[in-house]
C-alpha cells in the first residue's frame, strides 16, 4: 500500500512535469522569429535585419518566390518571407488568426472586397493615408476606388482583374463565325454555342469562378436593391439570362447540363485546351495552362470575347474585372514602415515576375507592354492578338462585388434548383429576392 | 470451433466474397495511385495512365515543396501525440473503470459531453489559450491537446470494464495496489484495445488538417495535410501532384496499421484471462 | 462485502488516475467550451474586437432560421448511417476474425477507407454516383429501374448518397474496434457452447453479441457524436449542395463560423447541437443497463 501511494505521487509529479515542461519547451523551441522580443523594431538596433512575412494565395513557385528573392537581393536590411494560403474559408481563417497575433503576418493580399471589409472592421488593416504619400488613384487609375472602404484605402490594388470568354479560333473559323464584338449579348452567345456544338464538342463551357459573371455585372449596374430598398434579385434581366442558359442546357444542348457539370467534376480548362469545347468562360488564370504547351498541347489559336450582357437594351451593364490583389499592411505589425516600403516596390514593378501567370500590374509606373510580353513569351502565335488587346487588355466599366457571402450562397442554392429542374423560374426569382430581403432586414 | 473458425469449405468462398468487397472498399485508393502516375491532361479522363508518368512523384520529393520536412513534422507530431494519448487515456480509463469514487459517473458524463462540442466554435478560445501558453505556431499546439483524447478514455474504459473482475479482485487479495494492477495486469491484458486505439488515434493525428491549418503558420513546421494544400492552385487543383503526395502520405498509416494489428491478432489467450 | 470496502478505501486513487487527463481536458476542452457558451449571448464576429451582448437575439434568430430547420432534417438522415455501418462492421469483423484466409490483407482493405485521402474519396464517389453514366445508375437501370435518382445532382437524393459514403467510410473504424473486442472473448466460452450443440447463429446472437455489448455501446455513442460533428467528407464531395441539400448542422456551423465569421451565432447553433447529442447520449446511458453487459 505505502509503496503504491508513493509511486502514484511520483507518477503524477512526472506527468505534471512533462506537461509543464512540454509547454515551456514549446515556447523555448520557438525562437525562429515568431516572438516579439526576438524581432526587435528597426529603430532599436538599426543593424539588425527586419523580417517581414507576406501572405498571398498564389503558389510560391508561380511567381511570388521570384518576387521575394529579387527584393531580398536588393534589400539586405529587410528580409521578406512569402507564406502561401489557399483563398478559401479555412485559408482566410488561418490568415486572420495570424493577423491577430501581429507577428506572423505583416503584409497580406485581399482578393474579395467583403474579406477586406471584415479585416478593416477588425482593425487588421492600416489606413494607407496615415503613411507617406502614395497617390493610389493616380497610380492605379479610377478603378482603384472600388476598393475604398469608407472613402479610404486600406490596401493597394496591384493587378488588373480579368474575366472573359476564351474562344477556339479554329472552331470559329470552321463554323464561319467571326470573333464576336465587345458588346455582344447572351442571345448571340446562345447562337454561337448552337452553331459550334458538335458530337463530343460543347459550344460553351463555364468555369465555376465565372458562372455568375453576367448576373453580378447586371446587378452592379442596376443596383443590388431597388429604389425603395427592397431586393433587386427578381429583376427581369436575370430572368432572361437564366432562361437562355436553361435553354442552352436542355433545348440546344450546347452547354453541359448543370447536373452533369456538378457531378462529373469537369476539368473545364483541360477540356477547352483539348478542343472539347469551343468557348470557355473563365479568367486570366487559364493562361498558366494555356501557355504550357508541353502538358496541354494544342495547335489552335485562342481568341477572346467579353462577358456578354443580357440583351441589347441593357445599358448599365458592368464588367467583372477592375483591379485585384489588394496588398494590405497588418495594423498589428511592428514593422509597418518596412512593410509599406515593400508594398510600394511590389506594386510599382516588383510584382513583374508574376506576369507570366496572367497578373498584369495596375500601377502606371509599370510599362504594361513589358508585362504582356512576359506573359506571352514563347507562345505569341497561339493567340489572336487583336481580340487579346481588345478584350483582355481593353477598358471596361467594371465593379467589385460587395454582396455578402450569405446572400451569394442563398442565391446559388435557389438557381441550382432551377437548373436541376426542381423549381420554375418565377419561384426561383421570388425566393432569391425573398432570402436576400431577409438578410437585408 | 468448426462453426466459427470454419473449414476450407466455408472459409474459401467467404474469403473470395470478402476479397471482392475489399476491392470495392479500396477503389478510391486505387484511383489515387493511378492518378499519381498520369500526365496532367489525362486526369478525369482515364482510369489508367496511358504510360507511367513519374514526374509527379519525383516532383514532390525534389521540387519546390519540402515534403521531407512535412513528413518529418507529421511523424513527430503524430508519434508524440499518440503515445501521450494512449498513456493518458489508459490511466484515466482505469480510474473510471476499476475504482469506485465519489462523483465518478457524473464526472464521466462531463467528459463525454466535452466530446460533443463542435470543434469549430472552440477554435477561437483555443487560439487565445495557445497564444497565452506561447505555443501558437509550434508543434506543441498540436501535440499537447492531442494527448488528451476523450474518445480514448471512453474506449479504453469500455474495454477495461469487460476484463473479468475476478482477475483484479484476486490481485487485490494478494495485496497489490492499483498502480501495480494497472501496469502489471490491465495494460498487458488490454493490448488489443490499446493497439486499436493507437491505430485510430494515430490516423487522426496524421490526417489532422484543421488544427494544423490554423495553429501553424511557419512553412517549416507544416505537416503533410498542410503540404497537400500546395496542390490547390488558384482556380484549379493539381490532381497528379496531390495524389502522388497522398499516396506517399498513406504509407506510414499502413505501416502503423500492420504493426498494430499484430497485437490485435495476438490478443489475449483464454489462459491469460483465467490467470 | 470485503471487495467493496477495498475499492472504497482506495477511492482517492481514482482521482489520482484521472487527474493528469483532467487537467488537459479542463484546459483544452472545458475552458474553451465555457468561452463559447458566453459567446452565445453576443454578436461576436471573428477577429472583430467590437463585441456586445445581445441577450437572447441569437436564439430568436435560430428559431426563425429556415436553414437551421432544414439542416436538422438532413442531419437526421445522415444519422441513419450509424446503425447501418455498425451492423455491417460487426458482421465483417466476425468473418474476418476467424473464418477467412488472408486475414491481415482483408482487414487492411476494409480499414483503408478510414485513412484514405478525402479528395480521392470525393472524386471516386462522384464518379460512381454519376447520374447518366455512373456504374451505380447503370446497375439500377439494368435491374429495371427506369429513372434512377440523380444522387449528388438531386436535392432529394443527395443526402442518401452521402449516407452510403459515410457507411463505407465508418466501416473500417467500427470493424477494427469490434475486432479488438472479439479478441477478449475466451475460446473456452465458445467451445463450451459448441459442445452443447449450439448453432453458429445462436452462438453469435446469444453469446458473442452480449459479450461485445460494451463495445457496441461505445461505437453507438461515439458514432453518433462523430457523425453529428463530421463535415469534412461532405465538404469535400458536395460542399453542402446541391442547393443546400447536404448541409447538415455541423456543416452549417462550419459555414457560419468560418465563411460568415458569425462566431456568436455559430456558438448558439453548436450549443443546440450539443444539447441534442447530450440528450441522446443520456437516454442511451440510462438505456444501456437493459442491454450492455459488463
* pLDDT 10s digits, B167-202: 878 887 887 888 888 998 889 888 889 999 999 999
Distance CA B61, CA B52 (A): 17
Position A76 in a domain: yes
pTM to 2 decimals? 0.87
The pLDDT > 70 percentage for chain A reads 89
Cβ–Cβ below 8 Å for B134 and A285: no
- For residue B119, the model assigns a pLDDT of 84
Contacts of B173 (CB under 8 A, 6+ apart): none
Q: Which residues of B touch C284 (CB under 8 A)?
A: none
Q: What is the pLDDT of residues A209-247, one digit of tens each?
A: 888 999 999 999 989 998 898 999 999 999 999 999 999
B62 Cβ under 8 Å from any chain A Cβ: no
Q: Which of A308-317, B4-13, B72-81, C59-68 has the lowest mean pLDDT?
A: B4-13
- For residue C2, the model assigns a pLDDT of 44
Distance CA A368, CA A363 (A): 9
Alpha-carbon gap: B14 to the closest alpha carbon of chain A (Å): 35
* CATH (residue range B64-221+254-274): 1.10.3720.10
- For residue C74, the model assigns a pLDDT of 95
For residue A21, pLDDT beyond 70: no
Position A2 in a domain: no
- A90 and A136 belong to one structural domain: yes
- A141 and A212 belong to one structural domain: no
Cβ–Cβ below 8 Å for A8 and C13: yes
Q: Which chains touch A (3 or more CB pairs under 8 A)?
A: B, C
Position A146 in a domain: yes
The pLDDT of A40-53, averaged and rounded, is: 65
For residue B229, pLDDT beyond 90: no
The Cα-based distances of A27 to A34, A88, B144, C152 in angstroms read 10, 30, 13, 47
What cell does A275 get? Answer: 478542343
Q: Range of C147's domain?
A: 57-291
Distance CA A381, CA A390 (A): 17
Shortest CA distance to A53 belongs to which of A90, A91, A79, A87? A79
Position C14 in a domain: no
Cβ–Cβ below 8 Å for A262 and C242: yes
B132 Cβ under 8 Å from any chain A Cβ: no
Nearest CB to A96; choose among C47, C50, C127: C47
- A88 and A114 belong to one structural domain: yes
- A178 and A295 belong to one structural domain: yes
For residue A145, pLDDT beyond 60: yes
Alpha-carbon gap: B83 to the closest alpha carbon of chain C (Å): 14
In order, the DSSP letters of A159-198 are EE--EEEEEEHHHHHHTTPPPPPTT-BHHHHHHHHHHH-B
Shortest CA distance to A156 belongs to which of A353, A365, A389? A365
Q: Which residues of A touch C131 (CB under 8 A)?
A: 259, 263
Position C99 in a domain: yes
Shortest CA distance to B247 belongs to which of B78, B60, B82, B77? B60
What element of type H or E holds A78?
strand A78-84
Q: Range of A96's domain?
A: 46-160+323-366
C positions 28-67 inside 8 Å of A (CB): 45-50
Shortest CA distance to A23 belongs to which of B217, B132, C29? B132
Chain A CA closest to residue B126: A97
* B6 band by pLDDT with thresholds 50, 70 and 90: low
Alpha-carbon gap: B99 to the closest alpha carbon of chain C (Å): 6
- For residue B61, the model assigns a pLDDT of 83
Q: Domain limits of chain B?
A: 64-221+254-274
Q: Is the pLDDT higher at A312 or at A17?
A: A312
- For residue B45, the model assigns a pLDDT of 67
Chain B CA closest to residue A102: B131
A49-71 CB burial, b ≥16 within 10 A, e <16: ebbbbbbbbbbbebbbbbbbebb
Chain B CA closest to residue C200: B3
Q: Which residues of A touch B40 (CB under 8 A)?
A: 270, 295-296
Shortest CA distance to C233 belongs to which of C257, C219, C216, C254? C254
Alpha-carbon gap: A80 to the closest alpha carbon of chain C (Å): 25
For residue A67, pLDDT beyond 70: yes
Q: At what angle do helices C158-183 and C213-229 cross, to 10 degrees?
A: 150
- For residue B224, the model assigns a pLDDT of 92
Please give the span between the terminal C-alpha atoms of chain C, in angstroms, as a whole number: 20
A226 Cβ under 8 Å from any chain C Cβ: no
- For residue B62, the model assigns a pLDDT of 81
Total number of domains constituting chain C: 1
Position C17 in a domain: no
CATH code, A262:
3.40.190.10
Position A8 in a domain: no
Q: Which chains touch C (3 or more CB pairs under 8 A)?
A: A, B
CATH code, C166:
1.10.3720.10
- A82 and A225 belong to one structural domain: no
For residue A32, pLDDT beyond 60: no
The pLDDT of A359-381, averaged and rounded, is: 88
For residue A324, pLDDT beyond 60: yes
* A294 band by pLDDT with thresholds 50, 70 and 90: confident
B18 Cβ under 8 Å from any chain C Cβ: yes
- A252 and A355 belong to one structural domain: no
- For residue A119, the model assigns a pLDDT of 94
C187 Cβ under 8 Å from any chain A Cβ: no
Mean pLDDT by 10 residues, chain C (294 residues): 53 86 92 90 85 88 91 94 95 88 88 83 86 88 90 93 94 91 78 78 86 90 89 88 91 90 90 87 85 80
B109 Cβ under 8 Å from any chain C Cβ: yes
Shortest CA distance to C100 belongs to which of B260, B258, B16, B22? B16
Total number of domains constituting chain A: 2
DSSP-based three-state secondary structure for C107: helix
A77-105 CB burial, b ≥16 within 10 A, e <16: ebbbebbbbbbebbbbbbbbbbbbbebbb
Instruction: State the best of B1, B4, B266 to mutate against chain C, taking most chain C CBs within 10 Å.
Output: B4
- A187 and A154 belong to one structural domain: no
**How large is the greatest C-alpha to C-alpha distance in chain A, in angstroms?**
98
Residue B96, burial from CB neighbour count under 10 angstroms (0-12, 13-18, 19+):
buried
A340 Cβ under 8 Å from any chain C Cβ: no
For residue A370, pLDDT beyond 90: no
- For residue C7, the model assigns a pLDDT of 57
Which residues lie across from C53 on neighbouring strands? Answer: C42
Position C1 in a domain: no
Q: Which of A148-157, B263-272, C194-203 has the lowest mean pLDDT?
A: B263-272
- A216 and A353 belong to one structural domain: no
Cβ–Cβ below 8 Å for A265 and C243: no
Q: Which of A203-207, A292-296, A303-307, B221-225 has the lowest mean pLDDT?
A: A292-296
- A174 and A294 belong to one structural domain: yes
What element of type H or E holds A398?
strand A398-399
Distance CA A202, CA A200 (A): 7
Position A441 in a domain: no
Cβ–Cβ below 8 Å for A58 and B234: yes
| Dihedral sign for Cα atoms in the order B39, B45, B51, B52 | positive
Q: How far is CA A266 from the centre of its chain?
A: 20
Pairing of strands A107-110, A323-329: antiparallel
Q: Which of A199-203, B37-41, B126-130 has the lowest mean pLDDT?
A: B37-41
Position C47 in a domain: no
Q: Which residues of B touch A30 (CB under 8 A)?
A: 134-135, 137-138
Q: Is the pLDDT higher at C15 or at B1?
A: C15
Residue A241 and residue A218 in contact, taking contact as beta carbons nearer than 8 Å:
yes
- For residue C290, the model assigns a pLDDT of 82
Residue C62 and residue C276 in contact, taking contact as beta carbons nearer than 8 Å:
no
Cβ–Cβ below 8 Å for C180 and B193: yes
- For residue C265, the model assigns a pLDDT of 92
Amino acid at each position: 500500500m505505502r509503496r503504491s501511494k508513493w509511486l502514484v505521487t511520483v507518477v503524477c509529479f512526472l506527468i505534471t512535469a512533462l506537461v509543464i515542461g512540454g509547454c515551456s519547451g514549446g515556447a523555448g523551441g520557438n525562437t525562429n522569429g515568431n516572438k516579439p522580443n526576438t524581432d526587435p523594431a528597426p529603430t532599436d538596433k538599426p543593424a539588425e535585419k527586419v523580417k517581414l512575412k507576406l501572405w498571398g494565395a498564389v503558389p510560391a513557385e508561380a511567381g511570388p518566390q521570384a518576387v521575394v528573392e529579387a527584393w531580398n537581393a536588393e534589400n539586405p536590411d529587410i528580409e521578406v518571407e512569402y507564406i502561401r494560403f489557399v483563398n478559401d474559408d479555412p485559408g482566410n481563417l488561418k490568415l486572420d488568426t495570424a493577423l491577430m497575433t501581429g507577428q506572423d503576418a505583416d503584409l497580406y493580399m485581399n482578393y474579395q472586397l467583403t474579406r477586406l471589409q471584415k479585416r478593416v472592421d477588425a482593425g487588421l488593416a492600416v489606413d494607407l493615408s496615415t503613411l507617406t504619400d502614395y497617390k493610389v488613384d493616380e497610380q492605379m487609375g479610377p478603378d482603384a476606388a472600388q476598393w475604398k472602404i469608407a472613402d479610404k484605402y486600406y490596401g493597394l490594388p496591384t493587378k488588373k482583374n480579368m474575366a472573359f470568354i476564351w474562344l477556339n479560333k479554329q472552331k470559329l473559323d470552321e463554323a464561319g463565325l467571326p470573333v464576336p464584338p465587345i458588346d455582344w449579348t447572351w442571345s448571340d452567345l446562345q447562337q454561337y454555342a448552337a452553331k459550334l456544338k458538335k458530337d463530343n464538342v460543347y459550344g460553351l463551357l463555364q468555369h465555376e469562378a465565372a458562372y455568375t459573371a453576367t448576373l453580378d455585372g447586371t446587378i452592379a449596374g442596376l443596383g443590388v436593391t431597388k429604389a425603395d430598398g427592397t431586393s433587386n434579385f427578381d429583376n427581369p434581366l436575370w430572368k432572361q439570362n437564366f432562361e437562355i442558359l436553361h435553354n442552352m442546357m436542355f433545348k440546344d444542348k450546347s452547354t453541359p447540363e448543370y447536373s452533369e457539370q456538378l457531378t462529373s467534376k469537369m476539368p473545364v480548362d483541360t477540356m477547352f485546351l483539348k478542343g472539347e469545347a469551343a468557348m470557355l468562360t473563365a479568367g486570366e488564370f487559364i493562361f498558366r495552362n494555356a501557355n504550357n504547351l508541353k502538358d496541354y498541347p494544342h495547335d489552335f489559336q485562342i481568341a477572346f470575347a467579353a462577358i456578354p450582357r443580357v440583351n441589347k437594351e441593357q445599358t448599365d451593364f458592368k464588367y467583372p474585372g477592375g483591379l485585384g490583389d489588394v496588398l494590405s499592411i497588418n495594423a498589428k505589425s511592428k514593422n509597418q514602415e518596412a512593410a509599406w516600403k515593400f508594398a510600394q516596390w511590389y506594386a510599382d514593378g516588383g510584382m513583374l515576375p508574376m506576369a507570366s501567370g496572367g497578373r498584369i500590374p495596375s500601377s502606371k509606373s509599370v510599362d504594361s507592354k513589358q508585362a504582356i510580353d512576359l506573359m506571352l513569351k514563347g507562345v505569341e502565335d497561339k493567340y489572336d492578338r487583336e481580340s487579346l488587346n481588345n478584350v483582355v487588355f481593353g477598358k471596361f466599366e467594371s465593379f467589385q462585388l460587395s454582396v455578402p457571402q450569405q446572400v451569394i450562397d442563398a442565391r446559388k442554392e435557389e438557381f441550382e434548383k432551377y437548373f436541376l429542374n426542381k423549381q420554375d423560374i418565377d419561384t426561383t426569382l421570388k425566393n432569391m429576392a425573398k432570402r436576400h430581403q431577409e438578410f437585408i432586414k | 470451433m468448426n462453426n466459427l473458425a470454419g473449414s476450407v469449405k466455408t472459409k474459401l468462398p467467404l474469403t473470395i466474397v470478402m476479397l471482392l468487397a475489399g476491392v470495392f472498399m479500396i477503389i478510391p485508393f486505387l484511383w489515387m495511385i493511378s492518378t499519381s502516375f498520369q500526365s496532367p491532361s489525362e486526369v478525369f479522363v482515364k482510369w489508367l495512365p496511358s504510360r507511367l508518368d513519374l514526374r509527379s512523384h519525383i516532383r514532390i520529393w525534389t521540387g519546390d515543396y519540402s515534403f521531407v520536412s512535412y513528413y518529418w513534422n507529421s511523424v513527430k507530431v503524430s508519434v508524440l501525440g499518440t503515445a501521450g494519448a494512449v498513456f493518458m487515456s489508459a490511466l484515466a480509463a482505469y480510474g473510471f473503470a476499476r475504482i469506485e469514487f465519489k462523483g465518478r459517473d457524473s464526472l464521466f458524463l462531463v467528459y463525454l459531453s466535452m466530446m460533443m462540442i463542435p470543434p469549430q466554435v472552440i477554435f477561437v478560445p483555443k487560439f487565445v489559450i495557445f497564444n497565452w501558453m506561447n505555443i501558437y505556431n509550434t508543434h506543441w499546439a498540436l501535440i499537447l491537446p492531442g494527448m488528451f483524447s476523450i474518445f480514448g478514455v471512453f474506449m479504453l474504459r469500455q474495454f477495461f470494464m469487460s476484463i473479468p473482475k475476478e482477475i483484479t479482485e484476486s490481485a487485490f487479495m494478494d495485496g497489490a495496489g492499483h498502480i501495480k494492477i494497472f501496469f502489471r495486469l490491465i495494460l498487458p491484458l488490454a493490448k488489443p484495445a490499446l493497439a486499436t486505439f493507437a491505430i485510430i488515434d494515430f490516423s487522426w493525428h496524421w490526417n489532422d488538417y484543421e488544427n494544423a491549418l490554423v495553429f501553424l503558420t511557419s512553412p517549416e513546421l507544416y505537416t503533410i495535410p498542410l503540404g497537400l494544400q500546395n496542390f490547390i492552385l488558384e482556380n484549379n487543383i493539381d490532381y497528379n501532384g496531390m495524389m502522388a503526395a497522398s499516396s506517399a502520405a498513406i504509407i506510414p498509416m499502413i505501416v502503423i496499421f500492420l504493426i498494430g494489428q499484430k497485437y490485435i491478432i495476438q490478443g489475449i489467450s483464454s489462459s491469460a484471462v483465467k490467470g | 462485502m470485503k471487495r467493496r470496502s477495498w475499492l472504497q478505501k482506495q477511492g482517492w486513487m481514482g482521482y489520482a488516475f484521472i487527474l493528469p487527463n483532467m487537467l488537459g481536458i479542463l484546459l483544452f476542452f472545458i475552458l474553451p467550451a465555457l468561452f463559447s457558451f458566453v459567446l452565445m449571448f453576443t454578436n461576436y464576429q471573428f477577429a472583430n474586437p467590437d463585441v456586445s451582448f445581445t441577450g437572447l437575439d441569437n436564439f430568436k434568430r435560430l428559431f426563425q432560421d429556415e436553414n437551421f430547420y432544414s439542416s436538422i432534417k438532413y442531419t437526421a438522415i445522415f444519422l441513419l448511417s450509424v446503425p447501418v455501418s455498425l451492423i455491417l462492421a460487426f458482421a465483417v469483423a466476425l468473418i474476418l476474425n476467424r473464418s477467412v484466409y488472408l486475414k491481415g490483407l482483408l482487414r487492411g482493405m476494409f480499414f483503408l477507407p478510414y485513412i484514405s485521402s478525402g479528395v480521392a474519396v470525393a472524386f471516386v464517389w462522384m464518379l460512381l454516383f454519376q447520374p447518366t453514366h455512373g456504374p451505380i445508375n447503370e446497375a439500377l437501370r439494368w435491374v429495371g429501374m427506369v429513372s434512377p435518382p440523380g444522387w449528388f445532382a438531386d436535392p432529394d437524393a443527395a443526402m442518401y448518397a452521402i449516407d452510403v459514403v459515410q457507411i463505407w467510410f465508418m466501416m473500417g473504424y467500427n470493424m477494427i474496434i469490434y475486432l479488438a473486442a472479439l479478441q477478449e472473448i475466451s475460446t473456452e466460452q465458445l467451445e463450451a457452447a459448441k459442445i452443447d450443440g449450439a448453432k453458429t447463429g445462436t452462438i453469435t446472437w446469444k453469446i458473442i453479441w452480449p459479450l461485445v455489448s460494451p463495445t457496441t455501446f461505445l461505437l453507438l455513442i461515439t458514432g453518433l457524436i462523430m457523425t453529428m460533428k463530421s463535415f469534412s467528407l461532405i465538404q469535400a464531395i458536395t460542399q453542402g449542395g446541391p442547393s443546400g441539400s447536404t448541409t447538415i448542422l455541423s456543416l452549417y456551423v462550419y459555414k457560419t463560423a468560418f465563411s460568415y465569421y458569425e462566431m456568436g451565432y455559430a456558438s448558439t447553433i453548436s450549443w443546440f447541437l450539443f444539447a441534442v447529442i447530450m440528450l441522446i447520449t443520456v437516454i442511451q446511458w440510462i438505456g444501456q443497463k437493459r442491454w450492455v453487459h459488463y
